A and B are shown apart, each in its own frame.
Chain A
Amino acid sequence: MTRFVVNRVAGMLLVLFLVCLFTYMVFFLLSPDPAVQICGKNCTPERIDQIRENLGLTDPFLTQFWNFLSGLFAGRTYGGGIECAAPCLGYSFQTSQLVTDMIVQRLPVTAVVAIGAAVLWLLMGVIGGLLSAVQEGKFADKFIAGLTLGGMSVPNYVLALALQYVFVVWLQVLPFSQAVPFADDPVQWFLNFILPWSVLAIGYAASYTRLTRANVIDTLNENFVRTAKAKGLRPDLVWRRHALRPALTPIVTIAGMDFAGLLGGALITETVFGINGVGKLAADSITKNDQPVIMGVTLLAAFFVVVGNMVVDLLYSVIDPRVKAGAPA
């Protein structure tokens, strides 16, 4: 087990390092000169040179990359005495803020979005899948299959705008989202999240429904279930003890990874509903070409996905004792 964890952590670090290197290269080689962007209107060549000096853009690529990497672990100081404590993800010269601060400020909101959506889609997906499996081939099954097809094929941005139009503008059962902290107005705060949660959950729930249905039907056809039934076990115990557990194990794996991915920000949903989370930060930074922030968010998302994967692997061995962590396959 220990060796397994050590191996996984080493692999994780390697992946993150490669992500770092790759994103840094992309921004270093392909992006416009940040000095010119910052210089703006009424710019003179002397001013560009001065800005470039301040940003450390005159250093060679490897030096800049090394500064970035060491900043992640040891922190760094930017020209002008701006202290950036570890883990220093960089400094946004367009907003004069530390990237780490900008992300940390927005992470709780994104976490709320991700947690709420995950709860919703797991409930919807698992219940829908079970219903389908039980009613296999009957009306309910076909009806749910139709719904999931719809849920999977409507893009997020269409669904978001459509739901907003129906529930907020037309039926007026929900208010337009307002920027309120939880402590000031918990009701409005909660109402703000209903639509984003639903939009994300509908998209994900569709695939979870199908997966659950397929897994449960497969499991119900397994020999050990037939044996359990044959020996006269009560149907509810057959379900609970024998069918559900193996059927739901893969769901946990996928849920963990989807959830981890969402923590990196839901760009479209957050933008449409004006949620000031990591996804909106990324979307705004891309339009402004604020490279340090784009890089910071990319790294964070990669970090969550990699860590999420590892957690799922570890959990897997807990849920399903047949899977021994680290044992040869």
Chain B
Amino acid sequence: MMASVLALSACSGGSSGGGSTSGAGGEAPVKGGTVEVLQTSDFSYLDPTRGWDGGVNSFYRLVYRTLVAKAPNDAADPNAMVPDLAESLGQASEDGLTWTYKIKQGVKFDTGAPITSKDVKFGISRSWDPEIGIGSPYMKQLIDAPDDYEGPYKSGDLETIETPDDQTIVFHLKAPFPEFDAALSQPSATPFPEGTGEGDEFINDIVASGPYDLEKFTPGSLVQLKRNAEWDESTDEIRKAYPDAWKFTIGVDGATIDERLIAQQGSDINTMTSAPTLQTATIARVQTPQLQERLIKNPSTCLTYMGMNTTKAPLDDVKVRQAIEFAVNKSSVLNATGGTQFATMASTIIPSTVSGHTGFDLYPSADGSGDVEKAKALLAEAGQADGFELTLDIRATPAMQRQGEAVQESLARVGIDVKLNVIDTSTYYETIGTTSQQNDMAITGWCPDWNSSASTFIPPLFDGRNIYDKGNSNLAQLNDEAVNKAIDAAKAETDVEAANAAWGALDEQIMQLAPIVPLNVENRLYLPGENVGGVITPSGDIDYTIIGLKDPSKS
């Protein structure tokens, strides 16, 4: 969970083909063999109630199943929520407070025991344990429970989830939540056999429900998976589970990973990486036709943006903020990020990879280099023609600092003097998330918790009722009554399409108030080994469940 706050670096996910440069990675894999994945760092947690970040979420799909899951990356709508352990998506009651699911027959844990409604309930109730429930918070936020409930090990059975028989499970929500299906796709909704997983039991071992089970685990070094013999292919329409085994090698230096993926020595043709992007130095080297054929590049779901603190003068004046929207040279910010290979310029809050995105640009300029004249005119209207000073909070990484300098130069063109306040990487998010410590502006990022709608994108960043003293995500501190109302309306919409239309409209409504400057959406670049197929990443994240070897006899 730690990683998901580090939005820019955290949405590491997977590999994917599809998109603009889909090459060999998209070719069809077949059953058998071992795929090796090289990573610089360890998975946060094997326990899905604890872990919650792009990298580990992709991994969980190999070993765990949930009632509902995201459609595979090669589906017509890869963002859609589809039934996994459940026979169908949930049936909501008239008032939207009660959700009922039927569990498929023949689904089993690796122990051979059938997965029943009681196991689903037990797994979900682990979210309330104060030590264990540190991952995705949605179960606790949405499902009704006694105030003093602290998980199954301390407080016993969670009576608010009903299990009338082994196949049926009934959830009672605190308030209507039309996207409850999406919430149940979160790792913290993973089922576990009743009584398992107490304390640190799932730190080094797991109970698998997916096609693979843990074979070997050496923290900081190796995670090896073997087939779970109890997984029945006929019950699973999402996972193809091509390879016989997976080997995640941890702790490999980033430059070494790139070197191995380029060099393709020996069994490295069966290798890929989960790292979200290639090293900057590697980009220049992958321009050869052979490597371009293997390179897979798609925009992620993560927006890099500059928040403007609407409580501080003169940023409390919407004209001043709009002037800044026009003044920022997004093209030079993009170059500072690493150029067009690394990111794609953005003009909207919702990235193109997230459902609900609509294409518009309220503050257009040639090549995204900024419209200085319009910006100056707006500043004059606001009575700020003489210019002023602003402080921009910047995370102490080279790319972020270059981005800050690009903004500084942009705004100097309209007489705004930007002071860069460089903050240590370890304290950055804490500082800008503490309202008393944040300055005028800050560059940061956001990734949604699911891509099927913008409900985890817009509300945390722009709902005026979500402004906290600490751990604040609404950096603009925007508290606009019309926006708040529109958020409530979009959240209450039970039809997915209508809800997404509402989020799209809200995106434009918010951008008129100019609380943030959308800068760019990071790309995810992958260079899978020559023999690795099925690397399809429509939204930048890896879907291991459709990846495999094209020819398992090669190694």
- Taking Cβ atoms with an 8 Å cutoff, the residues of A that contact B are 31-33, 36-45, 47-48, 50-51, 54, 79-82, 94-97, 102, 105-106, 161, 164-165, 169, 172, 175-179, 181, 271-276, 280-281, 284, 288-289
Contact = CB atoms under 8 A, between A and B. Distances in A.
A82 B471 CA distance: 27
Nearest to A281: B220
A41 B5 contact: yes
Given A42-B460, A105-B219, A32 B471 contact: no
Residue among B52, B137, B268 facing the most chain A CB atoms (10 A cut-off): B137
Interface in B480-517: none
Given A32-B430, A95-B45, A288-B2, A44 B471 contact: yes
Given A36-B471, A45-B471, A94 B263 contact: no
Interface in B379-412: none
B427 interface: yes
Q: Tell me if B's interface is mostly helix, strand, loop or mixed.
A: loop
Contacts, number: 132
A32 B427 CA distance: 5
B426 A31 contact: yes
Interface string B253-278: 10110011001011010000000000
B251 A54 contact: no
B206 interface: no
A45 B469 CA distance: 8
B2 A79 contact: no
Contact of B426 (A32, A40, A275, A276): A32
A40 B200 CA distance: 21
Contacts of A281: 220
A284 B220 contact: yes
B199 A41 contact: no
5 contacts: A43-B433, A48-B470, A95-B45, A95-B203, A274-B256
Contact of A33 (B42, B130, B430): B430
Nearest to B271: A176
Contact of A276 (B250, B255, B433): B250
Given A44-B471, A97-B219, A36 B430 contact: yes
Contacts of A45: 468-471
Residue among B52, B134, B433, B473 facing the most chain A CB atoms (10 A cut-off): B134
B4 A40 contact: yes
Nearest to A178: B249
Contact of A272 (B203, B220, B253): B253
A85 to B, nearest CB: 14
Interface in B21-59: 41-42, 44-45, 47, 50, 52
A41 B1 contact: yes
Given A42-B141, A47-B137, A181-B218, 4 more contacts: A31-B426, A51-B130, A97-B200, A179-B222
Interface residues of B, number: 50
A96 B204 CA distance: 10
Contacts of A33: 430
A281 B141 CA distance: 35
Nearest to B220: A276
Contacts of A271: 253
B130 A41 contact: no
Contact of B199 (A48, A81, A161, A178): A81
Interface in B210-224: 218-222
A118 to B, nearest CB: 23
A258 to B, nearest CB: 24
Given A97-B200, A97-B219, A80 B256 contact: no
A51 B50 CA distance: 14
B265 A40 contact: no
B131 interface: yes
Contacts of B130: 50-51, 54, 79-80
A36 B3 CA distance: 12
A284 B220 CA distance: 10
A115 B430 CA distance: 42
A276 B2 contact: no
Nearest to A273: B253
Contacts of A165: 259
A276 B217 CA distance: 13
B253 A96 contact: no
Given A54-B130, A105-B219, A274-B253, A38 B471 contact: no
A280 B220 contact: yes
A36 B134 CA distance: 12
B220 to A, nearest CB: 5
Contacts of B1: 38-41
B199 A80 contact: yes
A107 B419 CA distance: 46
Contacts of A96: 45, 47, 50, 131, 200, 203
Contacts of B200: 82, 96-97
Contacts of B256: 164, 176, 272, 274
B252 interface: yes
Contact of A169 (B134, B218, B221, B263): B263
Nearest to B203: A96
A271 B220 CA distance: 12
B405 to A, nearest CB: 24
B398 to A, nearest CB: 15
B220 A106 contact: yes
A80 B153 CA distance: 10
A281 B469 CA distance: 34
B54 to A, nearest CB: 11
B348 to A, nearest CB: 21
Residue among A54, A161, A281, A288 facing the most chain B CB atoms (10 A cut-off): A288
A251 B338 CA distance: 50
Contacts of B203: 95-97
B470 A175 contact: no
Nearest to B138: A42
A176 B260 contact: yes
Interface in B415-442: 426-427, 430, 433
Contacts of B141: 42
A272 B259 CA distance: 13
